[in-house]
Amino acid sequence: MHHRLVQAARDAQQEFEKTNDLADERLAMMFACAHPAIPHDIRGPLILQAVLGLDAARIASAFLVAPATMGQRLVRAKRKIAAARIPLRVPAAEELPERMGAVLAAIYATFAHGWDDPTGLDPRSHGLVAEALWLGRLVAQTCPGEPEPLGLIALMLHANARYAARRSVAGAYVPLGDQDPSRWDTAAIGEAESLLRRAARMGLPGRFQIEAAIQSAHAVRRFRREPDWNVILTLYDDLLRLTKSPVVALNRAVALGRVDGARAGLAALAAVAADARLGQYQPYWAARADLLSRAGDVDEARTAYARAIGLTIDLSVRQYLTYAAERCANLASSMAKTTPAPKTMAANAAAAERP
Task: Please state which of the ranges 22-26, 183-187, 280-284, 341-345 shows the lowest mean pLDDT.
Answer: 341-345
Question: Distance between CA 240 and CA 229 in Å, rounded?
Answer: 16
Instruction: Please choose, from the candidates 303, 308, 299, the residue with its C-alpha nearest in 3D space to the C-alpha of residue 333.
Output: 299
Distance CA 216, CA 158 (A): 7
Complete DSSP assignment for 96-108: HHHHHHHHHHHHH
Which residues have a Cβ under 8 Å from the Cβ of 62 and sit 6 or more positions away?
45, 48, 109, 112, 113
pLDDT score for 34: 82
CA distance 166 to 158: 13
Q: Which pLDDT tens digit goes with each residue over 108-157?
A: 988 988 887 756 566 566 578 888 898 899 899 888 889 999 999 999 99
Report yes or no: 48 and 62 within 8 Å, Cβ to Cβ: yes
String of DSSP letters for 48-75: HHHTT---HHHHHHHTT--HHHHHHHHH
- What is the model's pLDDT at position 204? 94
State the pLDDT confidence band at 13, using cuts at 50, 70 and 90: very low
pLDDT of residue 113: 81
- DSSP state, 90? P
| pLDDT tens column, 130-144 | 888 988 998 998 888
Nearest to 213 by CA among 292, 151, 167: 151
Phi, psi of 183 (to 5 degrees): -95, 0
pLDDT tens, residue by residue, 181-238:
999 999 999 999 999 999 999 999 999 999 999 999 999 999 999 999 999 999 999 9
**How many angstroms separate the CA atoms of 167 and 317, rounded?**
10
Coil, strand, or helix at residue 173? strand
Question: Nearest 5 degrees, angle CA 330-CA 332-CA 333?
Answer: 65
Residue 129 and residue 111 in contact, taking contact as beta carbons nearer than 8 Å: yes
Q: Cβ neighbours of residue 194 under 8 Å, at least 6 residues apart? A: none
Neighbours of 320 (CB within 10 A): 19
Cβ(91)–Cβ(31) below 8 Å: yes
The C-alpha torsion from 91 through 93 and 99 to 104, rounded to 10°, is 100
Q: Please tell me the predicted confidence (pLDDT) of residue 120.
A: 57
Of residues 209 and 62, more confidently modeled: 209
CA distance 206 to 162: 23
In this prediction, residue 329 has a pLDDT band, given cuts at 50, 70 and 90, of: confident
Model pTM?
0.79
Q: What is the pLDDT of residue 64?
A: 66
Instruction: Write out pLDDT tens, residues 237-288.
Output: 999 999 999 999 999 999 999 999 999 999 999 999 888 889 999 999 999 9
Which residue blocks in 173-297 are alpha helix, DSSP H?
186-200, 207-218, 229-243, 246-260, 262-272, 282-295
Where b means 16+ CB within 10 Å and e means fewer, 182-196 reads ebbbeebbebbbebb
Q: Cα(12)–Cα(22) distance, rounded to whole angstroms?
A: 15
Q: 3-state secondary structure string, 126-171? A: CCHHHHHHHHHHHHHHHCCCCHHHHHHHHHHHHHHHCHHHHECCCC
Output the CA–CA distances (angstroms, integers) from residue 114 to 117, 159, 239, 284, in the order listed: 6, 12, 24, 21
